[in-house]
């Protein structure tokens, strides 16, 4: 795997306590890499370092074999889609898209080409204020793609869309990026979005890379307690119950709701709440020592107040983290 | 920009501003402290009386302007009646009249031999004019007329920002209409009211035209300074200048403190309360009629000016209305090159000073308009705003003093008697207007737009030209047009600093009045009014 984009021990210090890195990443040509993390994890900073809007304090950034660490954003040829799109309000759609083209003529065939690509044929003369949120997002994408950048950077571009639109948009977005074949780095704090969009997902926490893997690997083999709890739902157990279910001394046990079953024998408990989701139901089971566990099972498996027994199908264990 | 280079640029710019704005004031303060003028000032009771007059006239102006402007704002923002829209914008008209022109219009209208006085005299068969428009009362009348607009506009803007649900919440909690007004509406309006009070106070303290024309024996500090200077007592004039500056700065600081933060914007906006139609037919008719009568009263000065400008020299003596009307005054104005000179002078000086003030503001925007870097941002903002806190007379005298001496080592050159000193004064006076507009415009720009341009390959200069400048255009136009109009109609600085080579319109109006060429004076007034309205109209267009 030869890297198209490389971050080599990149570090950016914001204040005495807040820093990003040192961080190393290698992204092959044509891959969609998602940077996933809670707010403050430094994912946007990594994106801005790639785009050249922030200068790293240490480390190297290599793009298509060229060291771009000191290259200003205007000469990096990275297409960027901003969180609030940053469309130029004084220009129409065509002028926005043509902004980065040499000659920047709106009748440049490239303008019509990228607008068609995002499904906005004939929108050249529209004012950007007249467009819906989804259309603005697509104009921002078309504008970023028009100058044929080497890398596409997306900063939570779907966070301003309403939820129903978001899911469809991200599938269309993935299909489009794959059709163009451009190497893409996508920032989000939503796990579902990351799994849907990314070839690989990099989980960041407090400026450090926790794990870089495919969605399946992240879910099934999380590298740390943080990844296990941040990616997907998880019951975190410590103490006696954890040891009963298979944790060693000083270990934390994580078990996902769908890996717990309501059985005839096992850990006894009482169903306290039931949350019906249609295909299944989440049951909140309180065990004897007072632990509360979330269990995913068939909708008719139990009722509130029932005495049940829990069995764990598969558990994950991690050493206790020192804060 | 290279960080060190940027720092140096900001430091250099701060020094330039300090030289323009702070240095002349410092020189006046220094000169005033020297010699025995200070002792003379302190020991003369007349001086204290004049200073006190400046203070109380200003405070009374604030009270009067609020008494007219605030109720009007509530009327037009909360009630619905026929003609509300048209009247609502007519009511802001005094803002279009340059202060000096407004004063002249008042003279023609309400003065001893004005239309109203003549009409009353004829009506009652009096021997003499029924009143003399002079003294403190006359000054206050003019101030109230020209300054209530600030309260009107600020209060309306504040009311428009009010969230209807806040008032409904108060009522749901059991507050009656008056209680809601007292406990919710007025406290929320405090920043708007304090802002208007600040503006009126500063304008009134620095007001020169009205006291100059109507004061008679009654002096305020601005007119006193000019009189002292004409007497040749320059050191005493400087002490007076410092005293006036102190009053202004004190008032500024006091009112600024009460202004506080704009809590309405901090809370985010809801929808403004819906206007209530006046239901009772009688009340509605009364409100509408009163509104129109008021609008006519407001428009009378403008109409008077137009009418008087049509009176040929020497044709109007004792009649109530002028018997002969013609365009002869305008024809003479535009056909005789010597008559046209003041207009040309005013336009070029206003244009040059506005262009320079906009350029300075733009440089300030480029250097400190963004959130980062912060070095020198505070000093630059304060220096840009400072001329606003000081009366025009103060700056005129300060520039006069500073640039009457050749001493390049202390950055002083002789500019007195040259044509550049007056436009320089206009420039300094206009820095707050353009500076505020441009810096506010910069702050509204989304920094992501710059980054978007950069990611699309645009360099620093291309980004400025293709993104920043077009987006700043409304702010530049608004600031520039206000500055241009202020310079065009200026009288305060002009009367101190003009030379025979750059006599501006206001001075020409004054000398026309002195030789009783009322028609010519009014004609210039009309031209000034129309030009101002045009420029403001263009500047306000998006």
**Confidence bin at A72 (pLDDT 50/70/90):** confident
Q: Is the pLDDT of residue B352 over 90?
A: yes
Asked if A86 and B471 come within 8 Å (Cβ–Cβ), the reply is no
Last residue of a domain, one of B284, B309, B334: B309
Average pLDDT over residues A35-58: 90
Number of domains in chain A: 2
Please write the tens of the pLDDT for every residue from B57-69. Answer: 999 999 999 999 9
| DSSP state at residue A92 | B
Residue B531 is inside which H or E element, if any? helix B518-540
- In sequence order, the β-bridge partners of residue A188 are A36
- Asked whether residue B248 is domain-assigned, the answer is yes
Pair A35, A161 in one domain: yes
Quick one: B159 and B287 in the same domain? Answer: yes
pTM: 0.82
Q: Are B244 and B229 in contact (CB under 8 A)?
A: no
Q: Pick from A172, A206, A229: which residue ends a domain? A: A229
Distance CA B348, CA B356 (A): 12
Could you list the beta-strand ranges (E) of chain A.
3-13, 19-28, 32-36, 58-63, 66-67, 78-81, 151-155, 183-188, 200-205, 208-213, 235-237, 251-255, 260-263, 267-276, 281-287, 292-297, 307-312, 316-319
User: Which pLDDT tens digit goes with each residue over B3-41?
Assistant: 788 889 899 999 999 999 999 999 988 888 887 888 888
Which of B283, B309, B335 is the C-terminal boundary of a domain? B309
Phi-psi region of B174 (alpha: psi -120 to 50; beta: other; left: phi over 0): left
Name, in order, each residue with C-beta under 8 angstroms of B16's C-beta and a sequence gap of 6 or more: none
For A3, the 3-state DSSP assignment is strand
Cα–Cα distance, B19 to B3 (Å, whole number): 24
Chosen domain end from B281, B309, B337: B309
Same domain, A167 and A48: yes
Question: Among A108, A168, A101, A180, which Cα is nearest to A137's?
Answer: A168
pLDDT over 80 (residue A321): no
Q: Are strands A267-276 and A281-287 parallel, antiparallel or unpaired?
A: antiparallel
For A87, the closest chain B residue by CA position comes to B449
**Does B368 lie in the same domain as B279?**
no
Does residue A88 belong to the interface with chain B, where contact is any CB pair within 8 Å? yes
Whether residue B220 is found in the same domain as residue B346: no
Average pLDDT over residues A143-167: 89
Do A158 and A245 fall into the same domain?
no
- Same-domain pairing of A247 and A190: no
Q: Do residue A246 and residue A225 come from a single domain?
A: no
Co-location of A64 and A205 in the same domain: yes
Which neighbouring-strand residues pair with A311?
A: A261
> Is the same domain home to B304 and B344?
no
Give B412's DSSP letter. Answer: B
Tell me if B29 is assigned to some domain: no
What HEC string does B168-184 produce?
A: HHHHHCCCCHHHHHHHH
Same domain, yes or no: B17 and B148: no
Residue A180, pLDDT above cutoff 70: yes
Q: Which of A159-173, B162-176, B471-485 has the lowest mean pLDDT?
A: B162-176
Checking ipTM against 0.85, whether it exceeds it is: no
Give the list of residues 6+ apart from residue B516 with CB closer than 8 angstroms, or none: none
Q: Given an 8 Å threshold on Cβ–Cβ distance, is B448 in contact with A86?
A: yes
A283 shares a domain with A171: no
Higher per-residue confidence, B470 vs B176:
B470
Partner residue facing B454 (CB), from A74, A83, A149: A74
Residues B14 and B95 in one domain: no
Is B240 domain-assigned? yes
Give the model confidence (pLDDT) of B464-500 as tens digits: 999 999 999 888 988 899 899 999 989 989 998 999 8
Q: Say what the pLDDT of residue B55 is.
A: 94
Query: H helices within chain A, ranges in order?
Result: 43-51, 93-98, 109-117, 133-145, 163-180, 191-197, 215-220, 225-230, 240-244
Q: Tell me phi and psi for residue B415, to 5 degrees.
A: -115, -10
Sequence-separated (6 or more) residues with CB below 8 Å from residue A211: A202, A203, A218, A222, A223, A224, A227
A61 plus A160 within the same structural domain: yes
- B298-347 per-position pLDDT tens digit: 888 888 899 989 888 877 777 777 887 888 888 888 888 888 899 999 99
What is the band of B266 on the pLDDT scale with cuts at 50, 70, 90?
Answer: very low
- Reported as a single tens digit per residue, the pLDDT across B46-60 is 889 999 999 999 999
My answer on whether B495 and B517 are in the same domain is yes
* Cα–Cα distance for residue pair B255/A71, rounded to 1 Å: 50
CB A5 within 8 A of CB A27: yes
Distances (CA, A) of A52 to A46, A63, A71, A192: 10, 12, 7, 28
| The domain boundary residue, chosen from A229, A244, A279 | A229
B318 belongs to a structural domain: no
Residues B295 and B388 grouped into a single domain: no
Residues B274 and B176 in one domain: yes
Q: What is the 3-state secondary structure (H, E, C) of B81-99?
A: CCCHHHHHHHCCHHHHCCH
Task: Say which residue the tokens 């007195």 belong to.
Answer: B416
Same domain, B338 and B478: yes
DSSP-derived secondary structure for B262-300: -HHHHH---PPPPPEEP-SHHHHHHHHHHHHHHHHHHHH
Decide: B421 and B501 in contact? Cβ < 8 Å: no
Alpha-carbon distance B416 to B485, whole Å? 24
Q: Which residue among A51, A87, A88 sits closest to B455, beta carbon to beta carbon?
A: A51
pLDDT band for position B271 (cuts 50, 70, 90): low
From chain A, the residues in CB contact with B453 under 8 A are: 88, 99
Q: Is residue B315 one of the residues assigned to a domain?
A: no
Q: Tell me, what's the pLDDT at A29?
A: 93
Domain check: are A101 and A195 in the same one? yes
Q: Assess whether A105 and A221 both reside in one domain.
A: yes
Could you tell me the residue range of the domain that residue B223 belongs to? 35-309
A115-148 pLDDT, tens digit each: 999 999 999 899 988 898 889 999 999 999 999 9
Q: Based on the domain organization, do A261 and A208 belong to the same domain? A: no
Task: Give residue A244's domain range.
Answer: 234-319
- In sign, the C-alpha dihedral spanning B283, B288, B293, B295 is positive
Tokens representing B186 are 């007025």
Q: What is the pLDDT of residues B415-467, one digit of tens each?
A: 888 889 999 999 999 999 899 889 888 888 888 898 999 999 888 889 999 99
Based on the fold, state whether residues A314 and A242 are members of the same structural domain.
yes
Phi, psi of B35 (to 5 degrees): 70, -165
B515 CB-contact burial (10 Å; exposed 0-12 / middle 13-18 / buried 19+): exposed
B538 shares its domain with B456: yes
Interface touch B455/A72, C-beta < 8 Å: no
- Read off the CATH number of the domain in which B180 is found: 1.10.3720.10
What residue in A sits closest to B473 (Cα-Cα)?
Answer: A90
Q: What angle in degrees, to the nearest 10, is found between the helix axes of B377-389 and B421-444? A: 130
Count structural domains, chain B: 2
Final residue in a domain of this structure, among A195, A229, A263: A229
Q: Give how far A90 is from chain B: nearest CA, Å.
A: 7
Side-chain half-sphere of B472: how many Cα atoms within 13 Å? Answer: 28
Q: Which of A156-165, A224-233, B125-134, B196-205 has the lowest mean pLDDT?
A: B125-134
Q: Does B446 contact A74 at a Cβ distance shorter than 8 Å?
A: no
> How high is the mean pLDDT of chain A?
88
> What number of other Cβ atoms are within 10 A of residue B202's Cβ?
19
Size of interface A-B (CB pairs under 8 A): 63
Whether residue B83 sits in one domain with residue B2? no
């Amino acid at each position: 795997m030869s890297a198209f984009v490389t971050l080599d021990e990149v570090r950016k210090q914001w204040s005495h306590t807040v820093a990003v890195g040192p961080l190393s990443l290698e992204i092959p040509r044509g891959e969609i890499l998602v940077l996933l993390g809670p707010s403050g994890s430094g994912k946007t900073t990594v994106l801005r370092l790639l785009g050249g809007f922030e200068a790293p304090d240490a480390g190297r950034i290599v793009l298509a074999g060229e060291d771009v660490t000191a290259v200003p954003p205007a000469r990096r040829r990275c297409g960027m889609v901003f969180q609030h799109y940053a469309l130029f309000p004084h220009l129409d759609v065509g002028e926005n898209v043509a902004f980065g083209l040499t000659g920047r003529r709106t009748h440049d065939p490239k303008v019509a080409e990228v607008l068609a690509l995002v499904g906005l044929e004939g929108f050249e003369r529209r004012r950007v204020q007249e467009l819906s949120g989804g259309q603005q997002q697509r104009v921002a994408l078309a504008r970023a793609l028009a100058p044929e950048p080497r890398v596409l950077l997306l900063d939570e571009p779907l966070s301003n869309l309403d939820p129903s639109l978001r899911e469809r948009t991200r599938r269309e977005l993935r299909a489009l990026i794959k059709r163009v074949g451009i190497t893409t780095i996508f920032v989000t704090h939503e796990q579902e979005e990351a799994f849907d969009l990314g070839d690989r997902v990099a989980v960041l926490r407090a400026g450090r890379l926790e794990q870089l893997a495919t969605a399946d690997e992240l879910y099934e083999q999380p590298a740390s307690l943080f990844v296990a709890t941040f990616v997907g739902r998880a019951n975190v157990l410590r103490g006696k119950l954890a040891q009963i279910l298979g944790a060693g001394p000083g270990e934390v046990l994580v078990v996902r709701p769908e890996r717990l079953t309501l059985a005839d024998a096992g850990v006894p408990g009482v169903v306290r709440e039931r949350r019906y989701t249609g295909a299944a139901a989440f049951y909140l089971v309180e065990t004897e020592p007072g632990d509360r566990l979330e269990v995913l099972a068939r909708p008719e498996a139990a009722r509130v107040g029932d005495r049940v027994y829990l069995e764990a199908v598969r558990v994950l264990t991690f050493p206790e983290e020192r804060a | 920009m290279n960080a060190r280079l940027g720092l140096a640029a900001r430091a250099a710019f701060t020094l330039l501003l300090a030289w323009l704005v702070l240095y002349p004031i410092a020189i006046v303060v220094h000169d005033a402290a020297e010699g025995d003028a200070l002792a003379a000032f302190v020991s003369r009771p007349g001086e204290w009386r004049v200073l006190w007059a400046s203070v109380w006239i200003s405070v009374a102006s604030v009270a009067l302007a609020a008494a007219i402007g605030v109720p009007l704002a509530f009327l037009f923002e909360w009630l619905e009646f026929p003609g509300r829209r048209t009247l609502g914008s007519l009511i802001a008209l005094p803002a279009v009249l340059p202060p000096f022109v407004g004063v002249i219009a008042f003279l023609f209208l309400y003065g001893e031999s004005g239309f109203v006085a003549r009409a009353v005299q004829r009506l009652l068969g009096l021997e003499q004019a029924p009143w003399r428009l002079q003294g403190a009362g006359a000054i206050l009348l003019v101030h109230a007329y020209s300054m209530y607009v600030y309260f009107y506009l600020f209060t309306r803007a504040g009311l428009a920002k009010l969230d209807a649900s806040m008032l409904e919440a108060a009522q749901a909690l059991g507050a009656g209409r008056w209680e809601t007004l007292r406990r919710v509406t007025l406290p929320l309006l405090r920043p708007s009211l304090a802002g208007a009070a600040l503006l009126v106070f500063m304008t009134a303290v620095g007001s020169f035209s009205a006291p100059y024309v109507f004061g008679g024996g009654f002096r305020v500090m601005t007119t006193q300074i000019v009189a002292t200077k004409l007497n040749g007592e320059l050191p005493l004039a400087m002490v007076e200048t410092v005293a006036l500056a102190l009053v202004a700065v004190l008032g500024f600081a006091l009112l600024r403190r009460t202004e506080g933060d704009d809590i309405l914007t901090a809370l985010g906006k809801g929808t403004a309360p819906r206007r209530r139609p006046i239901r009772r037919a009688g009340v509605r008719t009364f409100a509408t009629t009163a509104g129109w009568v008021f609008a006519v009263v407001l428009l009378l000065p403008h109409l008077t000016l137009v009418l008087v400008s049509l009176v040929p020299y020497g044709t109007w003596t004792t009649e109530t209305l002028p018997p002969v009307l013609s365009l002869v005054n305008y024809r003479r104005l535009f056909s005789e090159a010597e008559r046209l000179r003041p207009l040309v002078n005013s336009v070029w000086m206003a244009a040059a000073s506005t262009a320079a003030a906009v350029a300075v503001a733009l440089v300030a925007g480029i250097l400190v308009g963004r959130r980062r870097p912060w070095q020198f941002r505070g000093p630059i903002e304060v220096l840009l705003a400072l001329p606003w806190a000081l009366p025009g007379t103060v700056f005129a005298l300060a520039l006069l003093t500073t640039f009457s001496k050749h001493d390049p080592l202390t950055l002083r050159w002789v500019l007195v008697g040259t044509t550049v000193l007056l436009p320089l004064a206009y420039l300094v006076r206009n820095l707050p207007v353009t500076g505020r507009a441009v810096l506010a415009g910069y702050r509204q720009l989304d920094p992501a737009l710059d980054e978007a341009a950069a990611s699309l390959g645009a360099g620093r200069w291309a980004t400025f030209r293709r993104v920043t400048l077009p987006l700043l255009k409304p702010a530049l136009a608004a600031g520039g047009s206000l500055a241009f109009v202020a310079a065009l109609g200026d009288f305060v600085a002009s009367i101190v600093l003009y030379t025979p080579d750059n006599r501006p319109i206001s001075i020409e109006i004054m000398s026309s009045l002195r030789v009783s060429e009322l028609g010519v004076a009014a004609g210039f007034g009309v031209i000034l009014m129309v030009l101002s309205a045009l420029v403001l109209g263009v500047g306000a267009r998006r």
